[in-house]
Amino acid sequence: MTHYDHLIIGGGMAADAAAHGIREQDPTASIGILGEEPTSPFPRPALSKKLWTDPDFTVENTALDTVGETAATFHPRTRVVAVDLEAHEVTTHGGDTVGYGRLLVATGGHPRTLTDLPGGDRVLYYRSLTDYHRLRVLADTRPHVAVVGGGYIGTEIAAALIGQGCRVTLLHPGEVLGEQMFPAELADDFERLFTDAGVEVRGGAEVAGGREHADGVRLELESGDTVQADVVVVGLGVEPATHFLPEEVELADDGGVVVDEHLRTSAPDVYAAGDVASYPDPILGRTRVEHVDNATTMGTAAGRIMAGSEETYDHTPMFYSDVLGLGYQAVGTLDSSLETFVERVGEGAVAYYLDDEAVRGVLLWDLDEGVEEARALLARHSRPTDPADLAGTITG
Ligand SMILES: NC(=O)c1ccc[n+]([C@@H]2O[C@H](COP(=O)([O-])OP(=O)(O)OC[C@H]3O[C@@H](n4cnc5c(N)ncnc54)[C@H](O)[C@@H]3O)[C@@H](O)[C@H]2O)c1
């Protein structure tokens, strides 16, 4: 049986970061990575952004060199189906067992699917490098693409495909694109960016299902309407990939793996990091974050901790997105149901998100700087009575 001092389940960016964290702390320990995908860790943000918008980015020059840099052993196409906590070993779908000293769950999430909308040749639940290659081939025929979902995948892929000369219809259930994240005035700006670029944005469009047929795909909406397209790209969010874990590993209400401030799960020698981990954030409380900054920062910390570091994890996450010339980034939460205050700064804007006790999130809209100022503001754990008094806090 193969045995590793440190075994990582999952082949994404958290896994890459963890291998680096382990190696930083321990130059000789053996590291194994079991990845379900056929490729080793790849910088996922590029799949919906730079690989489409920046000709300097290719799959080859964007790829990570996890194995070369960390001397980890990478096992592609390897799905873990069970973990035996007592024996300290995992079982793969092929029936092999792999032993571990310490185990990291870095499995991220699987795309949420609609039962009545099966994935297929022309229906892509978009997440992996394989999906990117498939969509590239389809996009080259300049099809009419229906993008389902107005979240990160939906907006970034719609922006990418309109830039490729495709006809794009974006279907989302809300009234205004981005309204769950942005205060109303910025959501209006956001949607206009898409419509001005030629994307047909269709709100109130909750997709119920659909079928591929000889000429493309026919989507059915909850309203009873149908939408016909050549290709459908779906981004309905992800569900934490935890199905292989025994019940001793505690899960949070949202399905994530509960970890403490040392990224330890409730099971001995088992850690978790990245999209799958529900961790105690000092500012946001217990939370699970599905962005690359979280995956890499938490992954690195988990690796170091598994290899002996006694640090605690207290990094409040930031994230960024780029669509149609708009760059926006944020620290903390972007929940537009909170109280918000928007301040225009130069060509851009800052939006503050507050609950009764404190500022919980800061959005930097078309501003290059301000992440560290935002983090410092959140760390104060306070708020002014009048949110307008926050004006000038972030200079961008
Ligand atoms: N820039 C970034 O940080 C970035 C970029 C891409 C992806 N990601 C991550 O990848 C993951 C997947 O992204 P995503 O866009 O799939 O998830 P998401 O949660 O961002 O968006 C899901 C969207 O689907 C919509 N939706 C739900 N049910 C629907 C239905 N029946 N019909 C139509 N729309 C429906 C929701 O309203 C929402 O707009 C997320 O974890 C995300 O954070 C992050």
Q: What is the mean pLDDT of residues 192-202?
A: 98
Q: What is the mean pLDDT of residues 16-22?
A: 98
Question: Cα–Cα distances in Å, from 36 out to 41, 71, 93, 128, 281?
Answer: 10, 19, 10, 11, 29
In words, the CATH class of domain 113-234 is alpha beta
User: What distance in Å separates the CA atoms of residue 299 and residue 72, rounded to the nearest whole number?
Assistant: 15
Q: What is the pLDDT of residues 223-237, one digit of tens each?
A: 999 999 999 999 999
For ligand 1, atom 22, the nearest C-alpha belongs to 236
Examine the pLDDT at 59 and tell me if it is beyond 80.
Answer: yes
Identify which of 290, 293, 319, 320 to mutate to test ligand 1's pocket (most ligand atoms within 8 A of the CB): 290
For ligand 1, atom 34, the nearest C-alpha belongs to 149
User: What distance in Å separates the CA atoms of residue 330 and residue 350, rounded to the nearest whole number?
Assistant: 9
CATH architecture of the domain with residue range 325-390: 2-Layer Sandwich (3.30)
Decide: 348 and 367 in contact? Cβ < 8 Å: yes
Q: Mean pLDDT for the chain?
A: 97
Q: What is the mean pLDDT of residues 9-16?
A: 98
Atom of ligand 1 nearest to the CA of 235: 16
Q: What secondary structure letter does DSSP report for 274? A: G
Domains 2-110+239-306 and 113-234 share a fold: yes
ipTM of the complex: 0.96
Q: What is the pLDDT of residues 141-164, one digit of tens each?
A: 999 999 999 999 999 999 999 999
- Decide whether any atom of ligand 1 lies within 6 Å of the 206 Cβ: yes
Strand order in the sheet with 144-148: 123-125, 231-234, 144-148, 167-171, 200-202
Local confidence band at 395 (pLDDT 50, 70, 90 cut-offs)? confident
CATH topology of domain 2-110+239-306: FAD/NAD(P)-binding domain (3.50.50)
CA of 1 from ligand 1 middle (Å) equals 40
CA of 151 from ligand 1 middle (Å) equals 4
DSSP result, 9-21: E--SHHHHHHHHH
Please work out, in degrees rounded to the nearest 5, the angle formed at the alpha carbon of residue 133 by the alpha carbons of 40 and 144. Answer: 150
Examine the pLDDT at 192 and tell me if it is beyond 90.
Answer: yes
CA 156 from chain centre, in angstroms, equals 12
Examine the pLDDT at 255 and tell me if it is beyond 90.
Answer: yes
- Decide whether any atom of ligand 1 lies within 6 Å of the 325 Cβ: no
Q: What is the pLDDT of residues 286-334, one digit of tens each?
A: 999 999 999 999 999 999 999 999 999 999 889 999 999 999 999 999 9
Query: Is the pTM of the predicted complex or chain greater than 0.90?
Result: yes
- Decide whether any atom of ligand 1 lies within 6 Å of the 153 Cβ: yes
Atom of ligand 1 nearest to the CA of 153: 15
Examine the pLDDT at 396 and tell me if it is beyond 80.
Answer: no
User: What distance in Å separates the CA atoms of residue 66 and residue 244, rounded to the nearest whole number?
Assistant: 25
CA of 129 from ligand 1 middle (Å) equals 17
User: What distance in Å separates the CA atoms of residue 251 and residue 253, rounded to the nearest whole number?
Assistant: 7
The residue extents of the domains of the chain are 2-110+239-306, 113-234, 325-390
Other Cβ atoms less than 10 A from the Cβ of 79: the count is 16
Report the pLDDT value the prediction gives residue 215, as an integer from 0 to 100: 87
Beta bridge partners of 220: 209, 226
Examine the pLDDT at 387 and tell me if it is beyond 80.
Answer: yes
Identify which of 153, 179, 233 to mutate to test ligand 1's pocket (most ligand atoms within 8 A of the CB): 153
Report the pLDDT value the prediction gives residue 54, as an integer from 0 to 100: 94
Other Cβ atoms less than 10 A from the Cβ of 63: the count is 15
Tokens of 62: 């964007």
Q: Which residue pairs, CB below 8 angstroms and at least 24 apart, start in 113-117?
A: 113/234, 113/236, 114/207, 114/208, 114/209, 114/234, 114/236, 115/209, 116/208, 116/209, 116/210, 116/220, 117/148, 117/207, 117/209, 117/210, 117/219, 117/232, 117/234
Decide: 243 and 249 in contact? Cβ < 8 Å: no
Local confidence band at 1 (pLDDT 50, 70, 90 cut-offs)? confident
